[in-house]
């Protein structure tokens, strides 16, 4: 029995997490053609609920079916299927753990658009080698306000359907995160310019969500400690935003970093480049000095010693695990019971040769593809669990990539018209 990891955590709203381990949000890509939940998500979350974590955070659930991060995202925008959202919530809480819904809008990082546009703070294209270039559509103010209302609507629905908390996704370059960055937000109105203005979309969203769910319901935010880009959201800016989030009385801040243009937790995949544990821990320790809310650190946390250290001397409150959960769904239970000392870093051993997929790729394209194939290997593991096949740890990256391409192309083609 590991005391530190097993200690319950009382949140500011009054709710209690039964231990310090969390499944980080992992996009599932399992929804149906109306972006509704289904039996596959139920199966997946039953499995994760039994896995021992005190907290599960869902993969990003979208506020608008027109703009998706992936074709198989769950969305909640009057598209029906609430009985499945209830079943999904029930599955994810079946072992008595917390299950929070992560709420998101992809902004310019969307992969699916049903109206031919991707709305964003400014008309600044995403710069990812090999990804088709498009210029995002600038959101008028009424659309920003509409998105904020949608976040609140999804949060209300989550609560009504049995989720035990919500998380606002404001990291990794998606819409709210792109508002924070001076690189992707060059607006000159009340939603851009000063940091206070760039943070307005996030802060008003959090305020609307809190108002919608009430004071006794966990509200969390996922935030970049930094974008790690010149001119992007910096660590100093993050510290200021964390102070403001403290005034909004949030219950848990999940700390991460990067965006599609610069994603440290995905780049750091080779054993030779693996540094010490916890990609964002140094940043998180600085955040601790200004944060009034509990903190969750996600990214590269793998050993029990490292996790305990982050809790003990790093001032963290919850440890988020992402990729290990895609294969070893019971890893939290085993860590808590003392049956194992570490989660496996599958990302460190994936054999990827991007030239097998794209022979003529430039070096930059090959690097981006290498990162992407590393990610989709985990997508495919999640699909397999949802479909009842179980994970397949010895799957090659190439095999996973082919399954991924074929499945997402089919899902995209099958999406129901609005
Ligand atoms: C398959 C996969 C799906 C992910 N989906 C999401 C998501 O929907 N929302 C989110 O905030 N982060 C998402 N992430 C990022 C994880 O939550 C986490 O920050 C990242 O995997 C680093 O943690 P790890 O080193 O423990 O994997 C995803 C990561 C992976 C590997």
Closest residue by CA, ligand 1 atom 5: 26
Work out which ligand 1 atom sits closest to the CA atom of 222.
11
Give the whole-angstrom CA distance, residue 319 versus residue 298: 6
Atom of ligand 1 nearest to the CA of 279: 25
Ligand 1 proximity of 322 Cβ (cutoff 6 Å): yes
How far is 116 from 93, CA to CA, in rounded Å? Answer: 37
Measured in Å, residue 381 CA sits from the centre of ligand 1 at: 13
Cβ of 29 below 6 Å from ligand 1: no
Using the atom order of ligand 1, give the atom closest to the CA of residue 265. Answer: 22
Rounded to the nearest whole angstrom, what is the distance from the C-alpha of residue 142 to the centroid of ligand 1?
31
Region 70-80: mean pLDDT is: 98
Q: In this model, does residue 361 exceed pLDDT 90?
A: no
Of 132 and 375, more confident = 375
**Using CA atoms, how far apart are residues 22 and 392, in angstroms rounded to an integer?**
22
For residue 312, the tally of other CB atoms under 10 A from its CB is 10
Ligand 1 pocket residue status of 316, Cβ below 6 Å: no
Q: Which atom of ligand 1 is nearest to the CA of 320?
A: 26
Query: Whole-angstrom Cα distance, residue 137 to residue 115?
Result: 11
Least confident of 201-215, 261-275, 299-313, 367-381: 261-275
Q: Which residues contact 194 (CB under 8 A, 6 or more apart)?
A: none
CA–centroid distance, 169 to ligand 1, in Å, is 12
Taking all residues of the chain, what is their mean pLDDT, rounded to a whole number?
A: 94
Looking at residues 147-165, what average pLDDT do you find?
Answer: 98
**Of ligand 1's atoms, which has the minimum distance to the CA of residue 323?**
27
Q: How far is the CA of 190 from the centre of ligand 1 (A)?
A: 31
Q: Which of 74-88, 125-139, 295-309, 361-375 has the lowest mean pLDDT?
A: 361-375
State which of 21, 27, 57 you would mutate to test the pocket of ligand 1, scoring each by most atoms of that ligand within 8 A of its C-beta: 27
> Percent of the chain at pLDDT above 90?
85
CB-CB contact of 314 with 301 (8 Å): no
For residue 60, the CA-to-ligand 1 centroid distance in Å is: 10
Dump pLDDT digits (tens) for 15-68: 999 999 999 999 999 999 999 999 999 999 999 999 999 999 999 999 999 999
Q: Does the CB atom of residue 375 touch ligand 1 within 6 A?
A: yes
- Dihedral sign from CA coordinates of 231, 291, 23, 45: negative
Residue nearest to atom 18 of ligand 1 (CA): 322
Cα dihedral 180, 296, 104, 14, rounded to 10, equals -110
Q: Which of 140, 130, 184 is nearest to 366 (CA)?
A: 130
Distance 256 CA to ligand 1 centre (A): 9
Q: Which CATH architecture has domain 3-351?
A: Alpha-Beta Barrel (3.20)
Nearest CA to ligand 1 atom 22: 299
Q: How confident is the model at residue 354 (pLDDT cuts 50, 70, 90)?
A: confident
Residue 170 pairs in a beta bridge with 223
Read off the pLDDT of each residue in 80-85 and give the average, rounded to a whole number. 98
Domain ranges of the chain: 3-351
Placement of tokens 């990891």 in the chain: 5
User: How would residue 275 be classed by pLDDT, with cut points 50, 70 and 90?
Assistant: low
Mean pLDDT, residues 236-241: 98
Ligand 1 in contact with 70 (CB < 6 A)?
A: no
């Amino acid at each position: 029995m590991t005391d530190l990891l097993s200690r319950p955590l009382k949140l500011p709203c009054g709710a209690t997490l039964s231990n310090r381990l969390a499944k980080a949000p992992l996009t599932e890509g399992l929804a149906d053609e109306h972006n509704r939940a289904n039996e596959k998500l139920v199966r997946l979350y039953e499995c994760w609920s039994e896995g021992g974590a005190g907290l599960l955070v869902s993969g990003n659930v979208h506020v608008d079916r027109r703009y998706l991060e992936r074709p198989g995202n769950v969305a909640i925008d009057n598209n029906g299927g609430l009985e499945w959202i209830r079943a999904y919530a029930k599955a994810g809480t079946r072992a008595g753990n917390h299950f929070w819904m992560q709420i998101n809008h992809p902004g310019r990082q969307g992969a699916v658009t049903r109206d031919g546009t991707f709305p964003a703070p400014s008309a600044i294209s995403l710069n990812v080698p090999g990804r088709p270039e498009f210029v995002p559509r600038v959101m008028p103010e009424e659309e920003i306000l509409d998105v904020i209302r949608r976040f609140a609507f999804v949060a209300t629905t989550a609560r009504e359907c049995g989720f035990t908390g919500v998380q606002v996704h404001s990291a990794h370059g998606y819409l709210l995160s792109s508002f924070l960055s001076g690189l992707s937000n060059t607006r000159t109105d009340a939603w851009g310019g000063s940091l206070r203005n760039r943070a307005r979309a996030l802060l008003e969203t959090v305020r609307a969500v809190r108002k919608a769910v009430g004071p006794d319901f966990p509200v969390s935010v996922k935030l970049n400690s930094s974008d790690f880009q010149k001119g992007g959201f910096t660590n100093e800016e993050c510290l200021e935003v964390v102070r403001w989030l403290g005034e909004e009385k949030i219950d848990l801040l999940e700390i991460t970093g990067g965006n599609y243009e610069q994603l440290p937790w995905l780049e750091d995949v080779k054993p030779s480049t693996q540094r010490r544990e916890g990609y964002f821990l140094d940043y998180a320790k600085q955040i601790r000095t200004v944060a009034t809310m509990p903190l969750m650190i996600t990214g590269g946390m793998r050993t029990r010693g490292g996790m305990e250290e982050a809790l003990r001397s790093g001032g963290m409150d919850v440890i988020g695990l992402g990729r290990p959960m895609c294969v070893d769904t019971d890893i939290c239970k085993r860590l808590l019971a003392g049956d194992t000392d570490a989660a496996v870093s599958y990302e460190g051993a994936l054999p990827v040769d991007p030239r097998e997929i794209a022979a003529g790729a430039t070096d930059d394209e090959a690097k981006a593809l290498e990162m992407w194939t590393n990610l989709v290997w985990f997508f495919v593991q999640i699909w397999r669990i949802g479909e009842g096949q179980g994970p397949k740890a010895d799957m090659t990256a190439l095999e996973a990539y082919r399954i991924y391409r074929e499945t997402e192309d089919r899902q995209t083609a099958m999406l129901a018209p609005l």
